[in-house]
Amino acid sequence: MRDTRPIGVFDSGLGGLTAVRRLTEAMPCEDIIYFGDTGRVPYGNRSNETILKYARQDMKFLLGFDIKAVVVACGTVSATALGCLEAETPLPVIGVVKPAAKKASEITKTGRVGLIGTQASIRSGAYERELRAINRDILVTARACPLLVPLVEAGRLSPEDEVVRLLLAEYLAPLLDAGVDTIIMGCTHYPLLADAISAVAGNGARLVDPGAEAARETSLLFGNHPERECRGGHLRFFVSDNVEGFAQNAEIFLERAVAEHAELVDMDVIAT
């Protein structure tokens, strides 16, 4: 029998929707409760202590529902705080770093892997550690990209957008100079820029989507359980600010109605 409790998913903002989209594809019967901390995004330029504090509050909010697992659909939290969250939570907690590193190690042919992420993710060295645990010979060229999350949150995603192109050209230059054949988009916001990243990186490099890999990991954990009577999972969205703006962007990205399923959360109340 399938455990019908929802899966909780959280991120600092929109980025975790990249995991939600893949979860709905891989596990179409599952109910999902999503929390995006839009009032405090970005997390990636904050200290590890602050990221852990926010992540604990995000977990506390989700654990207020009768859920069966939490997907930490945030590279920054996964890279800096996953161990603490796992130790404190009586449910499976699935992060994005390990599944993304595993995928990159499987698809790289040259062993030269590029990594882009937030400042906190790159500073943590978490992706490198996971990659080296799988294959010591993998050479990682990493670059923090602090301006990409605000761009995505502002809905600036197009490969034709000059600001997007210029920024990506600067951020990806060291990776391309190093001849990487695989790029881990180490922040879950970045797959929203996948077309723009591909346009700048050219056809040579394959992109790894961490949310997609975490979704795959989650579906392996719970199985897909196709049910004849499956009505399609129910999605609920909670954000800590600007419900309308979030819903607008989320509708474009998920290609489904979000506004009537989106609610505001007061994180000051959760924090007490």
- HSE-CB at 184 with a 13 A cutoff on CA atoms is 40
- The yes or no reply on residue 76 touching ligand DGL (CB under 6 A) is yes
Tokens of 28: 């179409």
* Interface map 144-173 toward ligand DGL (x if CB under 6 A): -----x------------------------
Nearest partner of 27 among 58, 3, 60, judged by Cα: 3
Catalytic residue flag (residue 187)? yes
Stretch that binds ligand DGL, among 60-68, 182-190, 224-232, 243-251 (CB under 6 A): 182-190
Peptide bond into 191 cis (omega under 30): no
Find the binding residues for ligand DGL in span 8-27 (CB under 6 A): 11-13, 15
> Which residue of 33, 62, 69, 74 would you call a contact of ligand DGL, by CB under 6 A?
74
User: Are 143 and 164 contacting, i.e. CB atoms less than 8 angstroms apart?
Assistant: no
User: Are 131 and 108 contacting, i.e. CB atoms less than 8 angstroms apart?
Assistant: no
Find the binding residues for ligand DGL in span 36-55 (CB under 6 A): 41-44
> Closest CB to ligand DGL among 103 and 177?
103
> Closest CB to ligand DGL among 41 and 140?
41
Q: What angle do CA 149, 152, 155 make, to 5 degrees?
A: 155
Give dist(CA 151, CA 145) in Å, integer: 11
Catalytic residues: 74, 187
What does the binding site for ligand DGL look like in residue numbers (CB under 6 A)?
A: 11-13, 15, 41-44, 74-76, 118, 121, 149, 187-189
